[in-house]
């Protein structure tokens, strides 16, 4: 999970731990934070697995500069070919793990590199996860409403509204996905009949970031 995040961030450009963490905070935003206590061990593990390697760019560090200590310089991590492969692999799998609370945000953040079909599957999975929770809250709320204290009730209702809001958000996203890449073209968007039958726009990854 952190693995996916690191793979994704590093897929953009090589980074060192510190900056990696900043990006993690910025990109995943409200979803999770991650700390070095997770990051560095993960990095180590991934290095051992061969997904990434250290890339000191140019070794402009004076070689013998601090001979006293264990030589602490910047360590820049960079994806290997296997790492990129691994990233694609993780992007492609849309299992139950993809729509758990913590994981979903990470997957979503890399939707730009994800296959449209997988996107929809993950969004729908997430939605049904949330709907399930919503129903659970609703029923227990209905059953126990009268027995609840004012504050517990308020907490419960706020939680319920949060879930409902998130479901609406997902609905919009799914709607948009479907309109952008419909399983069956409901209408020709342009004057041309599509040469690719709309089901696979593989060579046309949706609007990435980076170079404008």
Partner DNA sequence: ACCGCGATGTATCGCCGCGATACATCGCAC
Partner DNA sequence: GTGCGATGTATCGCGGCGATACATCGCGGT
Q: Does 203 bind DNA (CB under 7 A)?
A: no
Among 8, 10, 32, 130, which residue interacts with DNA (rule: CB under 7 A)?
Answer: 32
For position 40 contacting a copy of itself by CB under 8 A, the verdict is no
| Nearest to 89, CA basis, from 49, 136, 37 | 49
157, two tokens: 């209702």
- Region 127-156 residues binding a copy of itself, contact defined as CB under 8 A: 133, 137, 140, 144, 147-152, 154-156
* Cα first-last separation, the chain: 29
Which of residues 111, 120, 124, 131 is near a copy of itself by CB under 8 A? 111
40 binds DNA (CB under 7 A): yes
- In this structure, are residues 56 and 74 in contact, taking their beta carbons and an 8 Å threshold? yes
Write the CA distances from 49 to 10, 13, 38, 102, 144, integer angstroms: 15, 19, 16, 24, 51
> What, of a copy of itself, DNA, none, does residue 35 touch, CB below 5 to 8 Å by kind?
DNA
Partner from a copy of itself, DNA, none binding residue 69, C-beta < 5-8 Å depending on class? DNA
Residue from 13, 49, 57, 74 touching DNA (CB under 7 A): that is: 74
204: left (phi over 0), alpha (psi -120 to 50) or beta: beta
Smallest distance, DNA to C-beta of residue 115, A: 24
Q: Does 175 bind DNA (CB under 7 A)?
A: no
> Cβ closer to DNA: 66 or 186?
66
- Find the binder of DNA among 18, 175, 186, 194 (CB under 7 A): 18
CA atoms within 13 A on the CB side of 57: 11
Binder among 50, 183, 186, 206 for a copy of itself (CB under 8 A): 206
Structural contact between residues 169 and 84, judged by C-beta atoms closer than 8 angstroms: no
Q: Does 15 contact a copy of itself by CB under 8 A?
A: no
Distance CA(105)–CA(115), nearest Å, equals 16
Select from 70-78, 111-119, 177-185, 188-196 the region that touches DNA (CB under 7 A).
70-78
Tokens of 34: 């991650």
One of 8, 9, 11, 44 touching DNA (CB under 7 A): 44
Considering the complex, state which of residue 152 and residue 196 has its C-beta at the smaller distance from a copy of itself.
152
Picking from 55, 69, 68, 19, the residue whose alpha carbon sits closest to that of residue 39 is 19
């Amino acid at each position: 999970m952190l693995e996916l995040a690191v793979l994704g961030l590093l897929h953009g450009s090589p980074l060192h731990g510190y900056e990696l963490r900043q990006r993690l905070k910025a990109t995943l935003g409200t979803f999770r934070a991650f700390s070095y206590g997770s990051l560095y061990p993960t990095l180590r593990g991934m290095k051992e697995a061969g997904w990434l390697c250290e890339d000191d760019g140019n070794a402009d560090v004076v070689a013998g500069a601090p001979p006293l200590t264990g030589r602490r310089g910047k360590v820049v991590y960079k994806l290997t070919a296997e790492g990129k492969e691994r990233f694609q692999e993780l992007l492609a799998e849309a299992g139950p793990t993809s729509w758990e609370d913590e994981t979903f945000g990470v997957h979503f953040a890399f939707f730009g590199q994800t296959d449209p079909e997988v996107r929809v599957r993950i969004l729908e999975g997430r939605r049904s996860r949330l709907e399930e929770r919503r129903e659970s809250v609703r029923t227990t709320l209905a059953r126990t409403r009268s027995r609840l204290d004012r504050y517990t009730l308020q907490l419960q209702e706020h939680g319920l509204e949060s879930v409902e809001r998130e479901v609406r958000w997902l609905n919009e996203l799914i709607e948009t996905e479907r309109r952008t890449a419909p399983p069956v073209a409901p209408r020709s968007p342009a004057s041309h009949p599509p040469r690719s039958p709309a089901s696979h726009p593989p060579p046309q990854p949706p609007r990435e970031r980076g170079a404008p």
